[in-house]
Structures are given as structure tokens and as C-alpha cells.
């Protein structure tokens, strides 16, 4: 298990580099961690390997083989595979209570991120794990614009109430960087770096931000124990508008990642 996670983390850390730049390298990196842990623990299945080959192959080669007019299909592939948990199905825990879901999420996010950043060029794709000073400033600015709106919406809809979590002084920084480098990274590459860019070229930046915000909110209807989660979707839609503005203002995914990570950290640290 440890070796599989080490390989996956190494592949994840290569996002934004030329490593795994070809589709067959990305596909091999999808299968390697799964084969390593599943064969070693006796949970390997041909069905699981086939699912990963199909999904990994499609995600690795879609943007390379097809023209930009098909980019919305890549976005749909990412969302359907993630929301339906199809990408999680092959990852069976070798014993009761031991979950390996993190391997699935890391694999899917970084495979799709690699594809977008390698096979689609945009000034905003100047990706790096550490934002620069300008990205911090712009990301914080748009987070600060959204924070009072988000708090009012949260209280008005009954989505959450104020609750300072125990150990907030160390949990907040850990939450921030965890969200910045995993959730915000994956979602911002797909929603801003791919979809917002695609729509902006066709309809202009403001319609693109509005449309992506609606889709981002809709994607959060599945979160939580009850579907549809309209409260969460409304908040996500409003937050996405400010993430999109941060991306537009900075011309960089790193600024929208900062705004995104700060927003989620505020929610998880102060709201419950």
C-alpha cells in the first residue's frame, strides 16, 4: 500500500512538468499504483483493471486526439466518472475498514490536470504548486469579496452556523494547503483552465464566468448525505463567480486556487 501511495504522490507532484507528457505515460501511471497494491493484497480484478484502462486511456488521450471543440466532452467525462464514483470502483480495500479512496481521487485529479496543462495551451496555465505574491494578493482579494456574501448566504439558508473547530490554529493551515494542492488544484484546472477558457473564447469572459458558476454549483448538488443539496449548490455557485473573477484578473490558475482554498478553509474551520 505504501509503495502504491508513493508512486501516486510522485506522479501527482509532477503536475505542471513535462513528466507524463505523453498519453501512454499517463495511462501507465494510472495502472501502476492500482496493480501494485491490488496484486500485493489479493484484491486485483480484471473488471477493475478494465475500468481504469478505459477511463485512464480516455482522460489521457482525449485532448490530444480531439480538437478543442470536443473539450466539453472531456469535462463531462471527468465529472461523470467522479460524481458516479466509477473511478473509485476498482479501488477495493484489502481489509474491512481500510479505505483506499484517496488513491482514486489523486489519480483522477492529476491525470485530468496533466492532460489539460500539457495538451491545451493558455496564459493561465502557468501552474506551480506555490502561488507567487501576485496570485496570493488577487486570490485573497476575491476571497475577501466573497466571504461576507458566503457567510450571509450560509446563515440565511441554514446551511451552517458559526462553530470554531477545536485545534483551529493548526487545522486551518493544514486544511488550506490540503485543499490548495488537491481539491482546488483539480477543480480549478477543469472549471477555469478548461471550461471557462473554452466558453470565453466563444461567448466572452463574463458569460463564461456566469455559465461555469452555474455548472460548478450544480456539481455540488451531490455533496452531503441528501440529494439534491441545494444549499451547498447555491453557495458553491456564488463562490465560483469569485474564483472565476480571480482567474480572469490574474490570468492564472494559481490565483483562483488561492481564493478557492481560502473559502473552503473558512467553511471547515469556522462553520459547521
136 and 176 share one domain: yes
pTM of the model: 0.92
**Which of residues 90, 120, 150 is at a domain's end?**
120
Classify residue 65 by burial, with Cβ atoms within 10 Å: 0-12, 13-18, 19+. Answer: exposed
69 and 172 share one domain: no
80 and 206 share one domain: no
107 and 13 share one domain: yes
202 and 232 share one domain: yes
Name the 3-class secondary structure at 271: strand
* Mean pLDDT per 10-residue segment, the chain (272 residues): 88 90 93 93 94 96 94 94 92 75 92 94 90 97 96 86 75 92 95 96 96 96 83 95 98 97 91 65
Q: 130 phi and psi, to 5 degrees?
A: -105, 120
pLDDT digits (tens, 9 = 90+) for 17-39: 888 888 999 999 999 999 999 99
Block residue for cell numbers 466572452: 204
Q: How far is CA 78 from the centre of its chain?
A: 10
128 and 246 share one domain: yes
**Which of residues 120, 142, 170 is at a domain's end?**
120
Q: How many domains does the chain have?
A: 2
pLDDT digits (tens, 9 = 90+) for 192-212: 999 999 999 999 999 999 999
116 and 128 share one domain: no
Domain that holds residue 7: 2-120
Cβ-based neighbours of 270, under 8 Å, separated by 6 or more:
162, 163, 164, 165, 168
Name the 3-class secondary structure at 166: coil
- For residues 23 and 61, the answer to whether their CB atoms sit within 8 Å is yes
Block residue for cell numbers 493544514: 174
**Rounded-to-integer distance, Cα 270 and Cα 92, Å:** 34
Amino acid at each position: 500500500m505504501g509503495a502504491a501511495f508513493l508512486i501516486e504522490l510522485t506522479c501527482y507532484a509532477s503536475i505542471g512538468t513535462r513528466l507524463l507528457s505523453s498519453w501512454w505515460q499517463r495511462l501507465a501511471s494510472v495502472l501502476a499504483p492500482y496493480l501494485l497494491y491490488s496484486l500485493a493484497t489479493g484484491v486485483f480484478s480484471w473488471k477493475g483493471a478494465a475500468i481504469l484502462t478505459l477511463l485512464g486511456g480516455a482522460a489521457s488521450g482525449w485532448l490530444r486526439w480531439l480538437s478543442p471543440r470536443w473539450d466539453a466532452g472531456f469535462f463531462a467525462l471527468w465529472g461523470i466518472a467522479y460524481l458516479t464514483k466509477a473511478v473509485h470502483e476498482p479501488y477495493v480495500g484489502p481489509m474491512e475498514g481500510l479505505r483506499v479512496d484517496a488513491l482514486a481521487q489523486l489519480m483522477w485529479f492529476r491525470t485530468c490536470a496533466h492532460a489539460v496543462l500539457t495538451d491545451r495551451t493558455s496564459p493561465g496555465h502557468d501552474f506551480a504548486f506555490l502561488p507567487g505574491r501576485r496570485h496570493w494578493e488577487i486570490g485573497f482579494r476575491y476571497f475577501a469579496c466573497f466571504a461576507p456574501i458566503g457567510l450571509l448566504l450560509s446563515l440565511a439558508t441554514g446551511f451552517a452556523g458559526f462553530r470554531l473547530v477545536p485545534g483551529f490554529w493548526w487545522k486551518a493551515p493544514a486544511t488550506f494547503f490540503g485543499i490548495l494542492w488537491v481539491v482546488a488544484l483539480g477543480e480549478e484546472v477543469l472549471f477555469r483552465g478548461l471550461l471557462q477558457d473554452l466558453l470565453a473564447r466563444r461567448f466572452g469572459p463574463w458569460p463564461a464566468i456566469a455559465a461555469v458558476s452555474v455548472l460548478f454549483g450544480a456539481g455540488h448538488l451531490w455533496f452531503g448525505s441528501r440529494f439534491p443539496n441545494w444549499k451547498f449548490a447555491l453557495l458553491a455557485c456564488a463562490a465560483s463567480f469569485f474564483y472565476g473573477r480571480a482567474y480572469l484578473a490574474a490570468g492564472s490558475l494559481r490565483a483562483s486556487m488561492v481564493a478557492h482554498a481560502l473559502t473552503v478553509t473558512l467553511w471547515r474551520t469556522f462553520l459547521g
